[in-house]
Amino acid sequence: MATEEGGSAAERIGSILQRLHAEYPDARCALEHRNALELLVATILSAQCTDERVNKVTPALFARYPDAAALAAADRDELEALIRSTGFYRNKAKNIQEACRRIVLAYGGEVPASMPALLTLAGVARKTANVVLGVAYQIAEGIVVDTHVKRLANRLGLTTQSDPEKIERDLQAITPSEEWIELSHLLIFHGRQVCDARKPACGDCVLRSLCPSAEV
């Protein structure tokens, strides 16, 4: 379906952002955290798991292990037991401990605030690094591309790519840098509430006239 308000992705992105800001004025990261370390760990746990489930696990986890040094020195079996319900718990526990050991040894116990440094941590790729930089440090290094952002970016005709890093580059090319952090929050909120993977609610969508995939 052609959009009623046609134009290239670059021509439509301003209107898309305007409408999403109006629809979701409180859009934010759904992972509950108090600092960069908690956000980093929660993001690692969120792989193949809902944010809701992660938020049920992290209070007890961080009460038991309040900092990077404590997590690095944690008993592996105990750590695995605490995060078991998030799935893939053995690999996640391994990554969390290895990341925290490096944070302690190389960065004085503080989560680094740069993309190159974050990418040296176990379990951290660009998506996780962008979450930490954007949410914890308000550094717009890039755009978080999760499953919702990937789906909506393609449906909205903002990219034709399937690889997250290529999608990120396409979105960066058309989105003002001051909107890079907010764009992912807005698309994630919209993906969860309206643009469902299986059955998008096009009739209730504020982006319908801007979306080439909208159903009549």
pLDDT tens per residue across span 29-54: 999 999 999 999 999 999 999 999 99
**Residues with Cβ within 8 Å of residue 202, at least 6 apart in sequence:** 208, 211, 214, 215
Q: Sorting pLDDT into bands at 50, 70 and 90, what band is 4?
A: low
**Structural domain 9-28+142-210, CATH architecture:** Orthogonal Bundle (1.10)
Architecture of domain 36-136: Orthogonal Bundle (1.10)
Q: Identify the pLDDT of residue 2.
A: 47
Q: Considering only 2-11, 184-193, 205-214, which range has the smallest mean pLDDT?
A: 2-11
Q: Work out the mean pLDDT of the chain and round it to a whole number.
A: 96
**Residue 148 in tokens:** 């919702």
Domain boundaries, the chain: 9-28+142-210, 36-136
| pLDDT, average across residues 81-108 | 98
pLDDT band for 6, please (50, 70, 90 cuts).
confident
Residues acting as catalytic residues: 127, 146
Whether residue 44 contacts residue 92, with contact meaning beta carbons closer than 8 Å, is answered with: yes
- The yes-or-no verdict on residue 3 having pLDDT over 90 is no
pLDDT tens, residue by residue, 103-135: 999 999 999 999 999 999 999 999 999 999 999
Half-sphere exposure of 32 (CA within 13 A, CB side): 11
Q: Is the pLDDT of residue 1 over 60?
A: no
